[in-house]
Amino acid sequence: MSRIAFDIQPINRFAGTSAAIRRPKEIAFFSYDENHQFRLDDSSLRYYYPPRLGADLSAGFETFRQLDDAADDHLDSLLRTLIAHEQKTGQRCEADFVTWRGMMTKIMAVPFDNFNDFEMNATCFQGTIFIEENHEAKLASREQQMKQQSRPGAPSQEMMSYWGYKFETLCLIPDTWDAVSRDYIENRENEVVSNYAQYCSVVRTGICNASLIIGGEVDAVWDCKPDDKDQPINWVELKTAQDFGATGNLLTFERKLLKFWIQSFLLGVPKIIVGFRSPDGILQRVEELETQKIPGNVKRSGKASWDGNLCINFTASFLAFLKETITSDGVWRIRRRRNSSLVEVLKMEETGYGDILSTEFVEWRQQM
């Protein structure tokens, strides 16, 4: 088994002005409906309408429809969407990388998140590197996280996770505000919270010399999607955070902002709406953050716990390293352990594409 490692240290070699980036542009999209069935449409697109302050984010926890994600979906939905796009345009979606946004978020956060450990599988097919999450490692890590004992009397991990979905339900409407009844808006607090439905945007973007096609969920659109496909979309990312006013813990919030920023940066989401909550889950205030201003504000904060340009430059170097390393079929593992300065790439299977690529996709491409 061959093993090659990329050393994150010395981290300062990635400092300085950022490598060129290409504004993410949506090329395709898909939805999961209320049964989590794949649909090649925008039926699960949602719109933002401000929530009522004072709402209890714990309300309805007993009726939460939580998706069981024990099955490994690989890149299937993203590849189905690419096939449909290629059938429509008659052109292959060329890119150096195809992956889920979540994988890129983990990679970009490496320089400033020592606790972020991950395992991914990758393969190279027709000159493109496809990267998926290693599902077993993800489930194991989730179990660890859920086992972490909360302080006595403090809310459980499950409850804190529910707060995020509840906040979404309180902020979303199924159509533009003028097309939705007042009744609907006022009754959002009684809606059953569910995370089955999703709208996923598939974007083309670039970091330095690497071109990427990334798929990821977007929570909502601010107004509506523009008719002109060259115009940026006013996406909104919804997030909850404990109100640091109460704890004075600005540093914790600043560290959270690293993930908020990366996640939104990658899909070109310009606005993040943070619902600040009390320690016991009461929605206290809502703040709108402009994604592109976050790194500058953090830099000037005095704490400066992370540096956005450095994340971009690290990612540019790391992607160049992957392009030099993963040059053939077979299955490669990309692995980073907690507190390690190394990201390792190991060849696990000599040939084939593992389960990373669906048969449908490979067959489509081979006859294209």
- Binding residues for ligand A3P (CB under 6 A): 161, 164-165, 167, 219, 239-240
Does position 217 interact with Mg ion (CB under 5 A)? The reply is: yes
First to last CA, the chain: 33
Which residue in the shown chain puts its C-beta closest to ligand A3P? 164
Closest CA to 31 of 21, 20, 39, 23: 39
Residues in region 223-282 near Mg ion by CB under 5 A: 238
Partner interacting with residue 165 (select from ligand A3P, Mg ion, none; CB below 5-8 Å by kind): ligand A3P
Q: How many residues in the chain? A: 368
Q: For ligand A3P, give the closer residue by CB, 79 or 172.
A: 172
Least distance between ligand A3P and beta carbon 169 (Å): 11
Least distance between ligand A3P and beta carbon 158 (Å): 9
Q: For Mg ion, give the closer residue by CB, 85 or 259.
A: 259
Does position 191 interact with Mg ion (CB under 5 A)? The reply is: no
Q: In this structure, what are the phi and psi dihedrals at residue 43, rounded to the nearest 5 degrees?
A: -60, -25
Pairwise CA distance, residues 102 & 273, whole Å: 19
Q: For ligand A3P, give the closer residue by CB, 68 or 183.
A: 68
Partner interacting with residue 318 (select from ligand A3P, Mg ion, none; CB below 5-8 Å by kind): none
Give me the residue label for tokens 């990309």.
334
Partner interacting with residue 305 (select from Mg ion, ligand A3P, none; CB below 5-8 Å by kind): none
Q: Tokens in use for 308?
A: 């956005």
Q: For Mg ion, give the closer residue by CB, 161 or 211.
A: 161
Pairwise CA distance, residues 83 & 207, whole Å: 24
Q: For Mg ion, give the closer residue by CB, 259 or 333.
A: 259
Specify the DSSP class assigned to residue 336. Answer: E
> Counting Cβ atoms within 10 Å, is residue 131 exposed (0-12), middle (13-18) or buried (19+)?
buried
